[in-house]
Chain A
Amino acid sequence: AQSVAQPEDQVNVAEGNPLTVKCTYSVSGNPYLFWYVQYPNRGLQFLLKYITGDNLVKGSYGFEAEFNKSQTSFHLKKPSALVSDSALYFCAVRDILSNTGKLIFGQGTTLQVKP
């Protein structure tokens, strides 16, 4: 079965420090991976995606993610966290067994950036 795991319910970092939000996946075949951010009572905002090519993907708001096939990971990173980055982050993988292109989401990680 295809799945995505975000092992941390919450990540706490100080403003200005680097942040990492972890994501691992399990799929058959090549994965198509996504990161989304959700602010309270809002929909999801797209951050970045990996389809193919360079393992380091750069996205919105200074975020980047590294695709690591051997470790089946796609961790989200940012060199210097901002208080405004505090939100709920979701990793997702395209369900390649579905012909509708639906996404499988991780359980989400709350990022708390403290001043």
Chain B
Amino acid sequence: GAVVSQHPSWVICKSGTSVKIECRSLDFQATTMFWYRQFPKQSLMLMATSNEGSKATYEQGVEKDKFLINHASLTLSTLTVTSAHPEDSSFYICSASDRAPGHYNEQFFGPGTRLTVL
């Protein structure tokens, strides 16, 4: 149980276009989803936290207008990279938690999406 999927697993796009990445919890309801960004051989950087039906909470320094997050249902959150540029190329990972926010919740991670912007 507790499987999280991401789609697509990799995407290549031209500079200036927008890319949408989906994160789905397959066998549980995710009240909270997290979006991370990871550069090669580096740690995960939390970008934002989203709760179903409410606006995402962005970490300091993350542009909310550039990285649009929607958590429309308890099993789906989407990250849209708007007007992508080469510096947005990265590995994006989502995670999902299956209970209301709290300290005992475990995060289940998706397999990641490799974005390359040409």
Contacts and interface: CB of A to CB of B under 8 A. Distances in A.
Interface of A: 32, 36, 41-46, 49, 51, 88, 90, 94, 96, 99-103, 105-108, 110
A36 B112 CA distance: 14
A108 B103 CA distance: 22
Interface string B32-54: 10100000011110100101000
Contact of B109 (A43, A96, A99): A43
Contacts, number: 60
Given A41-B91, A43-B93, A101 B107 contact: yes
A57 to B, nearest CB: 14
Interface string B92-118: 010101000111111111111010000
Contacts of B101: 99-101
Interface of B: 4, 6, 32, 34, 41-44, 46, 49, 51, 57, 91, 93, 95, 97, 101-112, 114
> Binding site of A, secondary structure by majority: helix, strand, loop or mixed?
loop
A94 B97 CA distance: 13
Contact of A100 (B32, B106, B110): B32
Given A42-B112, A101-B103, 9 more contacts: A32-B103, A43-B93, A46-B108, A51-B104, A88-B41, A99-B102, A100-B51, A101-B107, A107-B43
